[in-house]
Structure 1
Amino acid sequence: MTYYDADKLIAIAPMLDWTDRHCRYFHRLLTQKSVLYTEMVTTGAIIHGKMDFLQFNPEEQPVVLQLGGSDPAAMAECTARAAERGYQEVNINVGCPSDRVQNGSFGACLMAEPEIVAACVKAMRDAAPNTIVSVKTRLGIDEHDSDEYLQAFMEPVMDAGCQHFTLHARNAWLKGLSPKQNRDVPPLRYDRVYRMKERYPHLHLSINGGIKSVAEIKQHLHYVDGVMIGREAYQNPYLLTEFDGLLGHNRQVDVELVIETMIAYTDHHVEQGGRPWHVLRHMIGLFQGGPGAKKWRQVLSQLGPQATAARPVLEAAYHEVVSARTLFAEKLANFATETS
């Protein structure tokens, strides 16, 4: 898939401590056409860190690097490195409200300094002309809660060459709310996102925030170009199996094949010196809402952290799911017989 080859796109949000490369590999087995995002990575980590923060599995593509920073030169250097590694898009984080991020002068606090974001966009585009530079932002910060404030942020950034925005449909409160509260307390204002698309029809505009179902995705796609799913994708990953159909690529996902593929992937990770739990923790929600989901979670949570191999854990957990499904089917059959 090349970038933006469909009129409507679905993306999985960047989530710190969640959407690492193991999570993204798992998600890619469930949806081949959705766009995946890395966790936010700071420019300092990429330039000065000892780890390879740009690492990803080739199977993850299309994957977007989300970058945290506010120094145009550093943002440009990281974008150039990302382009060399095969990233087709780099996204600027202008949405995270945490104190740590604010102290680093990036994240949501940059909404108050659109000229800095615009300078970063220009430098990044100059450093990697064939790489899409996008911005993910909130609607406003603190008491600044108006279309005019959002427009005053977006327009200089657009003038610098950014044509792809994802709007998290809430304000960010930099004072008085924790990052967790900022995900739920500020009210969702989807109408404001819709108005931005009406005002700037030439933009590729995606919506994010509180979206949990295929029905909601379809509704939003009447008004915007793309939909970004956040925590629901992590807590209920089987939802991702419905996304390709929405993008015109119907396919059946064999959950047993997914599990077998994840066993092989985890074995390789262990061979490289990792632990199974680095991978297995991302699979806890796989059967959310279905028969055996609780047992699946329990087995993974109890056995996973100390496991030395994935197969015994996943096979034991899946056995519980199969047993629960069989029992559920028997109860349904008995109920049908009794009521006929």
Structure 2
Amino acid sequence: MRRLLLAAIAAAAIAAPAAAQEAPRDTRPIRWLVGLPAGSGPDMLTRLLAERLSPLLGRAIVVENRPGAAGNLAAAALARAAPDGATLGTLLAATVAINRHLYRDLGFDPARDFTPISHFASFPGVLLVHPSVPAETLAGFADWVRALPQPPLCGTGGAGVVPHLAAAWLMREIGARCEFVHYRGSPEAQRDLIAGRVLVLVDGIPTARATLAGGLARGIAVTSLQPIAQAPGLPPVAATYPGFEALSWIAVGAPAGLPEPLAARIEAAVAEAMADSDLPARFRAIGAEPAASGRAALAARIAAEDARWGALVREVGITLE
């Protein structure tokens, strides 16, 4: 009996260090920050993805909307969070690739303060005109703009967002100007386009589709490199101006310093969720193109778009406080 007791004690002593090294899996709910209001396209897509990721990660996910300052408020909160996997964020293209060229103080450094994990959706844009505009094609639109005695009023869903910069880029390619009118979101811009208070608007597919379907505005071209099913019959701007691509994309991100195993696990879970045929179909129903790029591709996209949009902002002279 004494020998058996000593053997049990020795076995327990050997097993104890190994057990101590195996940390229990984190079961805390994940807080997922979104820098746009509830019901916006990125918010709806984030919630759909979070619903699929929750069982894959074995943790509840709570989406928290922190709109304001072109997504900068939510991004700053994400940058300040602990890199322990308990906080994720929806990275907006504007937040990580544009805003630092427009704002003096973001409260975070896009290149330093985040762990990019995976791009998961893009919103192509559409060039829309009021029905009174005598143009059916991009060439006709360019001729019309250049012939005007004064620049036309062009609406945007917000200063510095991708559709605003896409319109500025297009005008540069055409060799013309427009007078921008910035609204507090796409719905307001759409209302004024329909009313004829602005004549031109580049907007994302989710809010543009209803206007197009109702014949309330005319579509001229899309800002993706290829035609898209959500805007049938509209050619890409790139068919006339090669290389023109302006997408409002969203991605999964975490605070900088997220441990490699955690980052790899979340990246793999996003890829698995997006491989489900039902989820991409639900994304497209909202007007978004699904994707699952992974960390390396997302980091490369951010770097490339930061350089491209930064050069455009400086060339066109767009400035915000």
TM-score bracket, normalised by the shorter chain, equals under 0.3
Structure number with the bigger relative contact order (C-alpha 8 A, sep ≥ 6) is: 2
Give the TM-score normalised by the residue count of structure 2. Answer: 0.26
Give the TM-score normalised by the residue count of structure 1. Answer: 0.25
| Higher helix proportion | 1
| Higher strand proportion | 2
Structure ID, larger Rg: 2
